[in-house]
């Protein structure tokens, strides 16, 4: 797929950084303000999807490659599972054993901050993968695929 | 809770109308946009009910799903639906709605149902009271989903992981063999 017009591409270059920063804020402050790993991960994925729509496949995949996205997807899920086992070593599954820190500060509430970050990586990269699968699929037209399957 | 009820009813009527349009319209793109309008109204309803966490997540996911569904529908050349609905589906859905309304009336008449805005607080009372001292997370929603009920969140992450894996396996191009090639081989 080709990119869109010059206007769309210029605005996209201007806006993508802000979207990623906002998504990172939503993830990191998930335990203090509304938001969390899921919403922040989807926002970051939307930034990359905007790149994919405006600039085309090559630019978006040079920023976040398919294999990298696969790796981050699996790594996020595994880190989240690992946090559960860290709690298991101290008592029960997902026990909050890490140091709590100071109330209402960024590095507080033990396991919740790393779990938010892991979920953000997992959700963001997997949704980007789902959209990029559609973009790759579009190389052949839908009708050609259907006719090939039917004959 | 009394003052926001009219707004909630207006949003509810809007969502019901949107859902009916999404079902009844013949154009696939119009149906997708109607479903998304229902989703956006739902996120506004969550804001009125005082759940900004859910509202953010609903809004963001709705944007993503709208983009994906529009891309999915414009891939298909013929977006108009021409087949008619069969009578069995209409009859069974009418029976379903009759049963739903009947049982709902029975539950509300028996007064065993809590008032709107006054939920049962058996489990959630413990979460609200011990959430901040036990986890140090100021956002009670995050404290519940990542500490008290982290096992649920693990299940949700597993569901997402498995579904993305399945979608990629179905949509992949490498190593895919068409039926024609299988027949000639």
Nearest CB to B151; choose among A43, A93, A131? A93
Residues 6+ apart with CB under 8 A from A107: A101, A113
At B15, which helix (H) or strand (E)?
helix B5-24
Return d(Cα A77, Cα A72) in angstroms, integer: 9
CA atoms within 13 A on the CB side of B75: 20
User: What integer pLDDT is reported at residue A44 of this predicted model?
Assistant: 94
Provide the residue ranges of all domains of chain A, joining segments of one domain with +. Answer: 6-150
State whether A49 and B153 contact (CB < 8 Å). no
User: Which chain B residues are closer than 8 Å to A46 by Cβ?
Assistant: 60, 63-64
Q: What is the ipTM, given to two decimal places? A: 0.81
A127-139: pLDDT as tens digits: 998 888 877 665 5
User: What integer pLDDT is reported at residue B126 of this predicted model?
Assistant: 85
User: What integer pLDDT is reported at residue A75 of this predicted model?
Assistant: 92
Report the gap between the CA of B106 and the closest CA in chain A (Å): 38
Q: How much is the CA Rg of chain A, to the nearest whole Å?
A: 19
Report the share of chain B in percent with pLDDT over 90. 29
Q: Kindly tell me the burial class for residue A49, based on how many C-beta atoms sit within 10 Å of its own C-beta (0-12, 13-18, 19 or more).
A: buried
Nearest CB to A109; choose among B55, B137, B168? B137
A39 close contact with B: CB closer than 8 A: yes
Handedness of CA A135, A137, A138, A140 (dihedral sign): positive
A92 close contact with B: CB closer than 8 A: no
The pLDDT of residue B132 is above 90? no
User: What integer pLDDT is reported at residue B168 of this predicted model?
Assistant: 82
Handedness of CA A104, A106, A110, A112 (dihedral sign): positive
The pLDDT of residue B44 is above 90? yes
User: pTM, whole model, 2 decimals?
Assistant: 0.82
State whether A119 and B64 contact (CB < 8 Å). no
pLDDT tens sequence for chain A (151 residues): 567 889 999 999 999 999 999 999 999 998 888 888 899 999 999 999 999 888 888 888 888 888 898 899 999 999 999 988 888 888 778 777 777 777 777 787 778 888 899 999 999 999 998 888 877 665 555 556 566 666 6
User: What integer pLDDT is reported at residue B39 of this predicted model?
Assistant: 94
CA atoms within 13 A on the CB side of B58: 18
Nearest CB to A43; choose among B60, B67, B154? B60
B53-84: pLDDT as tens digits: 899 999 999 999 998 888 877 766 555 666 66
Nearest CB to A103; choose among B136, B145, B158? B136
Mutation target for B interface from A126, A139, A142: give the one with most B CBs within 10 A. Answer: A126
B83-101: pLDDT as tens digits: 666 788 889 989 999 999 9
User: Which chain A residues are closer than 8 Å to B146 by Cβ?
Assistant: 31, 36-37, 111-112, 115-116
Partners of residue B27 on adjacent β-strands: B80
User: What integer pLDDT is reported at residue A141 of this predicted model?
Assistant: 53
């Amino acid at each position: 797929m080709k990119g869109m017009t010059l206007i769309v591409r210029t605005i996209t270059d201007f806006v993508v950084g802000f979207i990623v920063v906002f998504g990172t804020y939503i993830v990191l402050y998930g335990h203090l303000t509304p938001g969390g790993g899921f919403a922040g991960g989807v926002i970051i994925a939307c930034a990359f999807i905007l790149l994919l729509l405006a600039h085309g496949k090559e630019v978006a995949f040079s920023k976040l490659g398919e294999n990298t996205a696969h790796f981050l997807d699996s790594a996020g899920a595994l880190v989240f599972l690992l946090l559960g086992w860290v709690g298991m070593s101290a008592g029960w599954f997902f026990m909050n054993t890490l140091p709590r820190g100071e109330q209402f500060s960024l590095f507080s509430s033990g396991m919740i901050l790393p779990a938010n970050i892991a979920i953000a990586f997992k959700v963001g990269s997997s949704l980007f993968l789902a959209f990029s699968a559609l973009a790759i699929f579009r190389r052949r037209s839908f009708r050609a695929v259907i006719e090939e399957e039917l004959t | 809770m009394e003052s926001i009820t009219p707004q909630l009813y207006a949003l509810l009527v809007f969502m019901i109308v949107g859902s009916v349009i999404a079902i009844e319209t013949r154009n696939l793109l119009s149906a997708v946009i109607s479903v998304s309008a229902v989703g956006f109204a739902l996120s506004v309803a969550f804001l009125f009910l005082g759940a900004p966490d859910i509202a953010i997540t609903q809004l963001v996911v709705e944007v993503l799903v709208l983009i994906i569904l529009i891309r999915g529908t414009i891939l298909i050349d013929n977006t108009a639906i021409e087949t008619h609905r069969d009578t069995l589906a209409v009859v069974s859905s009418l029976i379903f709605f009759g049963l739903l309304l009947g049982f709902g009336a029975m539950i509300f008449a028996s007064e065993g149902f809590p008032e709107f805005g006054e939920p049962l607080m058996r489990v959630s009372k413990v979460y609200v009271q011990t959430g901040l001292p036990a986890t140090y997370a100021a956002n009670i929603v995050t404290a519940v989903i990542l500490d008290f009920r982290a096992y649920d969140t693990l299940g949700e992450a597993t569901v997402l992981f498995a579904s993305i894996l399945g979608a990629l396996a179905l949509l992949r191009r490498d190593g895919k063999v068409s039926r024609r090639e299988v027949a000639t081989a």
